[in-house]
């Protein structure tokens, strides 16, 4: 699964421009799917029959999109003004390389040099309108030929294993969920499963709304990442969770109260099979579960996440052991659901 995850993380798929990711996943899933379709929002919905039939009652979901930038205008000098797509911390974006558009035009997020700022400016985080992207264009006309307004941009963060069992890469959020679902599609499943590779999660879980309504599941498991804050200067419950301590089984976050029985089932399965697990010690964040849960007459939802440092940054860090254990626990969850039929 690791090489598949790396390949997924290399792809660019900012919210609303997930095409490269969706095309790759579709190619990978096609040989194993009983049915496969895309919808108007760009979700890819894949159905595979298992040993027991329950049609579309069980949904697994993971989002394809990542945070990035979008060009809003071009200055006379040929610099690109932009806004962020998704919740990016401006403090970590300055000086970072990006690639723009289908041709992956290289650029760099710039800011007025430290030598030119006032003492007051030094003490504040620059606003987005103070930033720009430099693509080396000589003027507006040259820049517009390469990168017209409306062009998406992705951060550059090639996957790299480092330390004691860690991976750093852009878009681990949520290509790890996509990788796990692709691996499951290759297996003989214990029951019918619908897999939703969703779009536009980072801008308000928009894709999940359409997929949940069209699939109309009874139970959904969202495979995600969540904020790890096991860092210097972060104390107590605000440390939330930590890479290397196992998959995160959520009972509540900032957007969803998860189904208690599903939470207990995941916890029980982890403990019975010797899989380390953790939960979040701080109530914050949200994911596609909030939208899926509220669709139609309601859906029972659970979330299984990898603890990842530096979410929504040009590079993120997660534990290889957590990724593997998240995959194992998802398989056990499917078997447990089949046993209940």
Residues assigned a catalytic role: 201
Structure tokens at 79: 């610099």
Residue 213 CB-half CA count within 13 A:
9
> Which of these, 115, 30, 128, lies nearest to 85 by C-alpha position?
128
Pure H helices in 11-82 = 19-29
Q: How many CB atoms lie within 10 A of CB 140?
A: 16
For 81-92, b/e burial (b = at least 16 CB within 10 A) is bbebbbebeeee
Q: Are 197 and 44 in contact (CB under 8 A)?
A: yes
Which H or E element spans position 264?
A: helix 260-272
- Helix, strand, coil proportions of the chain in percent (round to 5)? 35, 25, 40
Q: Where are the beta strands (DSSP E) in the chain?
A: 35-38, 44-48, 58-63, 68-74, 80-85, 97-100, 105-110, 132-134, 152-155, 160-162, 166-169, 193-198, 219-228, 248-249, 300-309, 316-319
């Amino acid at each position: 699964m690791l090489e598949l995850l790396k390949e997924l993380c290399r792809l660019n798929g900012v919210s609303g421009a997930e095409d490269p990711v969706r095309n790759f996943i579709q190619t990978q899933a096609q040989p194993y799917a009983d049915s496969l379709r895309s919808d108007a929002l760009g979700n890819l919905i894949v159905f595979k029959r298992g040993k027991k039939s329950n049609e579309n009652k069980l949904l697994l979901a993971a989002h394809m999109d990542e945070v990035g930038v979008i060009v809003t205008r071009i200055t006379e000098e040929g610099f690109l003004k932009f806004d962020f797509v998704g919740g990016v911390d401006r403090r970590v974006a300055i000086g970072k390389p990006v690639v723009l558009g289908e041709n992956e035009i290289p650029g760099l997020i710039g800011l007025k040099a430290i030598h030119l700022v006032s003492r007051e400016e030094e003490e504040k985080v620059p606003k987005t309108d103070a930033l720009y992207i430099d693509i080396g264009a000589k003027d507006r006309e040259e820049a517009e030929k390469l990168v017209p307004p409306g062009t998406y941009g992705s951060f550059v963060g090639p996957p790299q294993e480092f330390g004691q069992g860690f991976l750093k890469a852009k878009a681990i959020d949520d290509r790890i969920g996509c990788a796990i679902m692709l691996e499951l599609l290759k297996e003989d499943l214990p029951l019918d499963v619908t897999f939703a590779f969703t779009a536009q999660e980072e801008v308000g879980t928009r894709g999940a709304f359409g997929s949940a309504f069209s699939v109309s599941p009874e139970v959904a498991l969202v495979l995600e990442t969540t904020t790890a804050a096991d860092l210097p200067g972060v104390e107590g419950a605000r440390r939330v969770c930590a890479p290397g301590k196992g998959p995160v089984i959520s009972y509540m976050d900032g957007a969803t109260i998860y189904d208690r029985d599903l939470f207990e089932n995941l916890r029980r399965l982890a403990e019975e099979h010797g899989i380390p697990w953790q939960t979040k010690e701080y109530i914050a964040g949200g994911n596609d579960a909030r939208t899926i849960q509220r669709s139609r007459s309601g859906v029972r939802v659970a979330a299984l996440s990898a603890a990842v440092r530096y979410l929504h940054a040009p590079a993120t860090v997660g534990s290889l052991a957590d990724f593997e254990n998240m995959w194992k626990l998802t398989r056990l969850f499917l078997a447990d659901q089949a046993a209940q039929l």
